[in-house]
A and B are shown apart, each in its own frame.
Chain A
Amino acid sequence: MTLEVVVVTLIKAAIVIGGLLTGFAYLTLFERKVQARLQQRPGPNRVGPWGLLQPAADGLKLFFKSSSTPSGRDRFLYLLAPLISVCAALSSFAIIPISGPGPLRLFGHSIGWYVMNVNIGVLWYLAVTSVGVFGIFLAGYASNSKYSLLGALRSSAQMISYEMALGLSLVPVFILAGSLRLVDIVNAQHTWWFIIPLFPAFFLYLIAGIAETNRAPFDLPEAETELVAGYHTEYSGMRFALFFMAEYINMIIVSSIATVVFLGGWWGPFGILPGPWWFLLKVIALLYVYVWLRATLPRMRYDRLMALGWKSLFPLSLAMMMITAVVVVAAEGTL
Chain B
Amino acid sequence: MALREILLGPIYIVRALLTTFKHNTRPIVTIEYPERQKAVPPRERGKHILHRYADGLEKCVGCELCAIACPVGCIVVEAAENTPEHRVSPGERYAKRYEINLLRCIYCGMCEEACPYDAITMGPRYDLADDHPDKFIAVKEDMLEPLSASVADTAVPSGAPSAQPVARKW
Contact = CB atoms under 8 A, between A and B. Distances in A.
A241 to B, nearest CB: 26
B169 A292 contact: no
Contacts of A272: none
B170 A293 contact: no
Contacts of A295: 20
Contact of B30 (A41, A50, A292, A297): A41
Contacts, number: 42
Nearest to A34: B24
A293 B17 CA distance: 7
A145 B166 CA distance: 47
A41 B28 contact: yes
A39 B23 contact: yes
Contacts of B29: 40-41
Interface string B129-170: 000000000000000000000000000000000000010011
Contacts of B26: 40
Contact of B13 (A37, A42, A297): A297
A42 B28 contact: yes
B153 to A, nearest CB: 30
Contacts of A38: 20-21, 23-24
B115 to A, nearest CB: 43
A215 interface: no
Nearest to B10: A203
Contacts of A42: 28, 30, 32, 166, 169-170
Contacts of A181: none
A43 interface: yes
B27 A40 contact: yes
Interface residues of A, number: 16
Nearest to B6: A312
A45 interface: yes
A41 B20 CA distance: 13
A37 B170 contact: yes
B1 interface: no
Contacts of B6: 312
A45 to B, nearest CB: 7
Nearest to A50: B170
A292 B32 CA distance: 24
Given A38-B24, A42-B28, A296 B170 contact: no
Interface in A40-67: 40-43, 45, 50
B6 to A, nearest CB: 7
B26 to A, nearest CB: 5
B8 interface: no
Contacts of B30: 40-42
A50 B21 contact: no
Interface string A289-321: 000110111000000000000001000000000
A33 interface: yes
B128 interface: no
Contacts of A292: 17, 20-21
A50 B29 CA distance: 17
Interface string A249-290: 000000000000000000000000000000000000000000
Nearest to B27: A40
A33 B20 CA distance: 14
A221 B16 CA distance: 23
A296 B27 contact: no
Given A41-B28, A42-B30, A33 B23 contact: no
Contact of A43 (B23, B24, B166, B170): B170
Contacts of A39: 23
A33 B170 contact: yes
B169 A50 contact: yes
A45 B13 contact: no
A41 B21 CA distance: 13
Contacts of A293: 17
A75 B131 CA distance: 44
Across the A-B interface, give the 5 residue pairs with the lowest CB-CB distance, nearest first: A296-B20, A38-B20, A40-B29, A296-B16, A41-B30
Interface of A: 33, 37-43, 45, 50, 292-293, 295-297, 312
18 contacts: A38-B20, A38-B21, A38-B24, A39-B23, A40-B26, A40-B27, A40-B28, A40-B29, A42-B166, A42-B170, A43-B170, A45-B170, A292-B20, A292-B21, A296-B13, A296-B16, A296-B17, A296-B19
